[in-house]
């Protein structure tokens, strides 16, 4: 069964090699296997709601703390307020768009006045509770540009890059994400200058009925890919 393959270390070891080699053909093949398994209930009890509105699940955790994750955008009902979607990461991201399309907007961080954003440091109290704590540093952000990444394409985000991501037009979009070379786990989130000192966000499990709806969408997606 495919589920036995997915739970096996070798599957993810191979997947990581394909990411490092930027082998889009192989990534497409393995992501197709994942989609089939997702449509059969693999994500039940695992898929969570991110405060930025997308659904996510860590599929595999390597010994060096690198990970393979799935991100699913289907609507914007799950976005939590205040929306703080501009941030950086403590790892490099290599992401393959399995279905749909996503956008990635980059920003330049300046120490010039007037500052436009305060900075927040994220932490987790439990798997279901994320805390953003304001610190004393404020910066001026300037948008560099937005890049649209379509199905079948690969894109990267470096640790030093400040960005925000989104889906396109509320359509179902799925990305398979490899987090590479993690460093000091204290990434920054950029929020309002006059924001509160602390915000709490939830990261609850997705209800089973919603996952069943997603499974049906993914089944249609896999059938369309075969036709």
Enter the pTM of the model.
0.91
Residue 184 — pLDDT band, cuts 50, 70, 90?
Answer: confident
Q: How far apart are CA 163 and CA 188, in angstroms?
A: 11
Strand bridging mode 86-87 / 129-150: unpaired
pLDDT digits (tens, 9 = 90+) for 13-31: 999 999 999 999 999 999 9
- C-alpha distance from residue 49 to each of 32, 34, 83, 124, 193 (Å): 23, 19, 14, 14, 26
- Kindly list the domain boundaries of the chain, sorted by start residue: 2-226
| Helices and strands counted in the chain (H then E) | 4, 13
- Tokens describing residue 66: 């690198």
Residue pair 146/103 in contact (Cβ under 8 Å)? The answer is yes
- Tokens describing residue 185: 């786990």
Instruction: Note the pLDDT of residue 6.
Output: 53
The total number of residues shown for the chain amounts to 227
pLDDT digits (tens, 9 = 90+) for 62-79: 999 999 999 999 877 789
Q: How far apart are CA 195 and CA 169, in angstroms?
A: 29
Q: What is the mean pLDDT of residues 199-223?
A: 93
Residue 5 main-chain phi, psi, to 5 deg:
-65, -45
Q: Where does residue 173 fall: left (phi above 0), alpha (psi -120 to 50 degrees), or beta otherwise?
A: beta
Burial class from Cβ neighbours inside 10 Å (0-12, 13-18, 19+) for residue 145 reads: exposed
Q: How far apart are CA 116 and CA 193, in angstroms?
A: 7
Half-sphere CA count of 106, side-chain side, radius 13 A: 12
Fold classification of 2-226 is: Jelly Rolls (2.60.120)
Q: Where does residue 13 fall: left (phi above 0), alpha (psi -120 to 50 degrees), or beta otherwise?
A: alpha
Q: What is the mean pLDDT of residues 33-47?
A: 94
Q: How far apart are CA 173 and CA 36, in angstroms?
A: 16
Q: How far apart are CA 45 and CA 63, in angstroms?
A: 23
Query: Looking at the predicted structure, is the pLDDT value of residue 129 above 90?
Result: no
């Amino acid at each position: 069964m495919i589920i036995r393959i997915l739970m096996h270390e070798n599957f993810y070891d191979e997947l990581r090699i394909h990411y490092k080699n930027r082998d889009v053909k192989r990534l497409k093949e393995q992501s197709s296997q994942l989609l089939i398994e997702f449509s059969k209930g693999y994500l039940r009890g695992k898929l969570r709601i991110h405060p930025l509105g997308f659904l996510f699940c860590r599929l595999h955790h390597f010994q060096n703390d690198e990970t393979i994750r799935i991100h699913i955008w289907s609507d914007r009902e799950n976005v939590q307020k205040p929306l703080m979607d501009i941030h950086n990461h403590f790892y490099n991201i290599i992401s393959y768009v399995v279905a749909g399309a996503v956008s990635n907007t980059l920003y330049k961080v300046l120490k010039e006045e007037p500052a436009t954003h305060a900075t927040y440091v994220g932490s987790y109290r439990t798997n279901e509770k994320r805390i953003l704590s304001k610190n004393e540093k404020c910066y001026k952000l300037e948008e560099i540009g937005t890049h649209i990444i379509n199905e079948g394409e690969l894109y990267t985000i470096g640790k030093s890059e400040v960005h925000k991501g989104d889906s396109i037009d509320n359509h179902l979009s799925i990305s398979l994400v490899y987090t590479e070379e993690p460093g000091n786990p204290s990434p920054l989130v950029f929020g309002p200058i006059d924001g509160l000192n602390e915000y709490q966000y939830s990261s609850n499990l997705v209800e089973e009925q919603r996952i069943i709806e997603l499974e049906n969408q993914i089944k249609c997606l896999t059938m369309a890919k075969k036709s």
